[in-house]
Every structure is written in C-alpha cells, then in structure tokens.
Amino acid sequence: MNMRRPIFFLILMSLLLISCGGESRLAEVNENEIKKSINRSFRDLQEAAKSLDVDRYTSFIAREKFTFLNEDGTVFHSFDDFKKLYSEGIASVERYDSLEFDRVKITVIDQSNAVLVNEFKAVLKLKSGEVLPTGGAGTQVWSKIKGDWKLVNISSSSKPRKNAS
C-alpha cells in the first residue's frame, strides 16, 4: 500500500506536467497565429495607405468603437471625424515615394485584443510638387470583431523633420 501511493503521486504529477506543457504550447501556437493575422492586416493597411485608398484604409477600422489620438494632441472619438481628417490629408498627396515600418512589435493581450507599436519613415510627393520626408511612431490597438481584426485605437507621433528621414 505504501508503494502505491508514491507511484500514484508520480503518475499524477507526470500527467499534470504533460497537460500544463501542452497548454502553454497551445497558447504559444495560438499567440503566434494571432500575431501572423494582425501582421497580415497591418500589411494590408500599409498597402491601402500607399495606394491612397481612403475607403480601403478605413475598412480596417471598427467604426463604433474607434478612437484616435493625433500627433498634435487632438483626440477623435468619431470615426466620421477621423475619416474626414484622413481624407483631407490624403487629398493633398500625389503619391508615396517610400513608406517603411521599422521596429514593429505586436503584443497579444488575449484572444481578441493586441497592441501593435511601430516606427515609420515616409517620403511623400504632394500635389503641389513638394517632396516631404516624414517619420514617427504609432500605436494601434487591434480587436477581433465578428471574426476580423479591426483597429479600435490609433495613436501617432511625429519625429522632428531633421530626424524623420
């Protein structure tokens, strides 16, 4: 009887360790899949920005839950107000000569929420003919809504022009 108790205990501990290891592996695989999905959405968002496609760009935004902190410190709680601001800005751009994102990091909060932080550099050609080098950083909060990853928050900042390029 004494011999059974340690064996039972060893078997129980082995099962617990196996199941815990399996759960952490599953969580790791799931986290990697979430990161891949958000990264795909982020790349599609970049392509929409580069192509100056306002409707496609804003299709990544959760309209009812969206907030935006602009680089100048203004806050928008209305999707329509953000879209108007974005559309007005894009209307002055002829094209992106370059748009690069560095130091992109995705942090998964849970199954439905993640934060993406990045730095960017861009060179825009304005319709006025001016070439505008710019750069900065951004934070995006992505939430899974009805099966799709959508932006619920964007915060941006700009680097001083001399450091932007």
Mean pLDDT throughout 135-145?
Answer: 96
Residue-range domain boundaries for the chain: 4-164
- Cα-based torsion angle of the residue sequence 81, 82, 83, 86 in order, rounded to the nearest 10 degrees: 130
* Topology of domain 4-164, CATH: Nuclear Transport Factor 2; Chain: A, (3.10.450)
Q: Which two tokens stand for residue 133?
A: 């080098």
pLDDT of residue 7: 62
User: 91: Cβ–Cβ under 8 A, 6 or more apart, which residues?
Assistant: none
Mean pLDDT throughout 70-85?
Answer: 93
Alpha carbon separation from 5 to 8, 10, 14 (Å, rounded): 5, 9, 14
**Per-residue pLDDT band at 3 (split at 50, 70, 90):** low
